[in-house]
Structure 1
């Protein structure tokens, strides 16, 4: 029961202190889940994150569910998921009841402008960590370039890109092992 509460508490802290969604959450997940708690390795976290992006739902919730399941099975998945959702639920309920009356104030608008800048930096940090841990050889650079072109220029669905990259990764790995 102590480990279940620890999952809830850890993901509650992550969910309550991360602004900007799943991408901005990656540095905090790395610190808490990999470095502090040792519930997963960096590679596992990136795998959970990648699968969390390709499955329906919110990346943060999906990732918390995967990690909770790894640590403590179905109950762990449930507690981690409840933990990451709980702060947002409380904050959204508070904001929903008061936002209409406060959103017209310039100080609130300026605060949101500042938060958006910080979120952009957090996302950039997450991208740099993903790059460092994922694009490690020429094949990774090729997959990155093709995916970037397909997403940014050709507007191809991310689902097709993830499936294609997975297949390409398997083919490359198979060919390396064959040689």
Structure 2
């Protein structure tokens, strides 16, 4: 029972004190799960992120499921999942109760605008670390940055790049297979 409470509280704390969504939670999850608690080693954590990204649903919840299951089976996965989602649910519930009173408050609006750069940094840090751990070098990052810029500044739909990447992957695979 102690293990389940520990799993729940670990993910509850992460969920309660992270702004910016799942990718912003990744460095906190890694620090707790790999460094502090040692529930997973670094490679298992990277594998869990790959699995979490390829599964439908939020990355933080998917990672919580993997960590909980790996640590304590089904009940561990349930505890980590509840711990990860409960803070957001409670915060949204409280905001909904007071939304009429704060929706036009200039200070609330300015606070959220001020938080944005920190959230970008919280998302960029784990992406950089994951790329470094996966062996991605500086040359390999040029294409994703170029695509991001084209989407952001020229308004090109991301669907086009997904289709081009799929076709390119198929062509590359056929060429490699032929050799």
* TM-score normalised by L of structure 1: 0.78
TM-align CA RMSD: 2.6
Contact map agreement 1:151 1:157 (CA 8 A) in 2: no
Q: Residue 91 of structure 1: CA displacement?
A: 0.4
Identify unmatched segments of 5+ residues in structure 2: 151-155
- Cα distance change on mapping 1:100 and 1:50 into 2, 3 Å: farther
Aligned equivalents of 2:51 and 2:77: distance in 1? 15
- Cα distance change on mapping 1:131 and 1:71 into 2, 3 Å: same
- Cα distance change on mapping 1:152 and 1:114 into 2, 3 Å: closer
Q: 1:24-63, aligned counterparts within 5 Å?
A: 24-63=24-63
Q: Which has the larger radius of gyration?
A: 2
- SS in structure 2 of the partner of residue 81 of structure 1: helix
What does the per-residue CA deviation read over 1:123-161, in whole Å, with 9 as the maximum and x for residues that have no partner?
1211221122112569xx55x556666777683349x77
Q: Residue 118 of structure 1: CA displacement?
A: 1.0
Aligned equivalents of 1:19 and 1:81: distance in 2? 17
Q: 1:149-164, aligned counterparts within 5 Å?
A: 155=158, 156-157=161-162
- Cα distance change on mapping 1:38 and 1:59 into 2, 3 Å: same
Residue equivalent to 2:13? 13
Residue equivalent to 2:71? 71
- SS in structure 2 of the partner of residue 101 of structure 1: helix
Which of structure 1's runs of 4+ aligned residues deviate more than 3 A? 144-158
Q: Residue 103 of structure 1: CA displacement?
A: 2.0
What does the per-residue CA deviation read over 1:49-81, in whole Å, with 9 as the maximum and x for residues that have no partner?
122112111111000000000000111101100
Contact map agreement 1:52 1:59 (CA 8 A) in 2: yes
Residue equivalent to 2:117? 117
Aligned equivalents of 1:21 and 1:100: distance in 2? 24
* TM-score normalised by L of structure 2: 0.78
